[in-house]
Amino acid sequence: MTTNPSTIIVTGAAGFIGSCMAGYLNAQGYHHLILVDDFGVEAKRINWEGKMYDHIVERSSLFEWLERTETKIDACIHLGARTDTTEFDYSVHEALNLEYSKLIWQYCTAKNIPLMYASSAATYGAGENGYNDDHEGIAGLKPLNPYGVSKNEFDKWALAQTEGPAHWIGLKFFNVYGPGEYHKGRMASVIFHAFNQIKETGKVKLFKSHKPDYQDGEQLRDFIYVKDVVAVIGWMLESMLDKKWPATKNGLYNLGTGEARSFIDLVRSTFAGLGLEPNIEFIDMPKDIRDTYQYFTEANMEKLKLAGYNGGFTSLEDGVQDYVVNYLQKGLIY
């Protein structure tokens, strides 16, 4: 494959989606990457062997580095964020998810380079206003936690700007799972936790429902495989670099599959990947998340389709099978 000469900033490069993004870009011929994160804390999470990049830059010194460097930046994929939904100190989310993102936006605007940034389905709160990525409803959304608030505040700020990058997109990620999430602890996907529970105890514990409208384990989420996420971003990046992304397409986009599936479906698929019959136990949901728990998410994906994306999405069964068999079973983290 021919090496692409474009130089791309990837923030959050030591995290889950960011590290997968860097690997995807390498596979597509993008070898001139500027990888940004809190590497003093995060670097040991990642095996950088085989990764092709030009520079690794600490998040806190990125803008100082950009002022010094003679490197021409062609695009920025801003995936770095504080994503812990159980962190209730809003100032933490505000600093990393809102104020830092404003600086990224302002840099991309000044340099006129494309920007793709991570928003979140957490902005939709309990979903009382639906899961539509039209801009008119953003101001009325009611996120359930400080993380969601910080993401929605940046979305609102971005939409209010009279000046911005010529090409920009905010992606509302739904429930992303796949290789690279091992370090997320409590915030890792149910698939990751289910696999480890099965290996340790032969069974999986799922939260009971605390709403009468949902049976235990029948809580519904839009689960999307990380390989699909990076493929969509890659398609957007190429469209922007090729000047095929008009300003009329700028804005917010959902990124899920458009199909809600139950946690029971997910866990059954995990057992199937291991060649085992399901063994599920239901436990009470922790009180600290009970009032802010989403029981249903499903992305409206029409906007992305209308923008021209026709790549399709991996089914839950196929995604879990690939993740379990080709990564978790083999002890591979990426």
On the CB side of 36, how many CA atoms lie within 13 Å of its CA? Answer: 21
pLDDT at 273 > cutoff 80: yes
Measured CA to CA, the distance from residue 283 to residue 216 in angstroms comes to 9
Quick check: is 88 in a domain?
yes
CB 38 within 8 A of CB 14: yes
On the CB side of 155, how many CA atoms lie within 13 Å of its CA? Answer: 31
- Helices 226-241, 316-323: axis angle to 10 degrees equals 100
- Domain range for 163: 4-177+223-258+298-307
Which H/E stretch holds residue 21? helix 16-27
Average per-residue pLDDT for the chain: 93
Catalytic, 100? Answer no
pLDDT at 310 > cutoff 60: yes
CB 279 within 8 A of CB 202: yes
Percent of the chain at pLDDT exceeding 70: 96
Which pLDDT belongs to residue 44?
45
| Tens of pLDDT, residues 126-175 | 899 999 999 999 999 999 899 999 999 999 999 999 999 999 999 999 99
- Helices 146-160, 100-111: axis angle to 10 degrees equals 30
Quick check: is 202 in a domain?
no
Query: What's the total number of domains in the chain?
Result: 1
259 phi/psi in degrees, rounded to 5 = -135, 115
Quick check: is 193 in a domain?
no
Looking at residue 97, which CATH number applies to its domain? 3.40.50.720
Annotated catalytic residue within 53, 147, 177, 309 = 147
195 band by pLDDT with thresholds 50, 70 and 90: very high
Q: 89 versus 8: which is more confidently predicted?
A: 8
Q: 182 versus 206: which is more confidently predicted?
A: 206
Looking at this protein, which amino acid is placed at residue 315? S
For the chain, what percentages of helix, strand and coil (3-state, to nearest 5) are there? 45, 20, 40
Residue 26, Cα to own-chain centre: how many angstroms?
19
Catalytic, 151? Answer no
191 phi/psi in degrees, rounded to 5 = -60, -45
Quick check: is 125 in a domain?
yes
What tokens appear for 260 in the block?
């809600």
The three-class DSSP label of residue 144 is: coil
Q: 288 versus 221: which is more confidently predicted?
A: 221
For residue 90, the 8-state DSSP code is: H
When pLDDT is averaged across residues 265-291 and rounded to a whole number, the result is 93
Quick check: is 254 in a domain?
yes
Which pLDDT belongs to residue 14?
87
In b/e form, how buried is each residue of 66-78, taking b as 16+ CB within 10 angstroms?
eeeeeeebbbbbb
pLDDT at 43 > cutoff 70: no
pLDDT at 38 > cutoff 50: yes
103 band by pLDDT with thresholds 50, 70 and 90: very high
CB 18 within 8 A of CB 12: yes
Quick check: is 200 in a domain?
no
Which H/E stretch holds residue 25? helix 16-27
Quick check: is 187 in a domain?
no
| Tens of pLDDT, residues 217-234 | 999 999 999 999 999 999
Quick check: is 79 in a domain?
yes
Looking at this protein, which amino acid is placed at residue 303? K
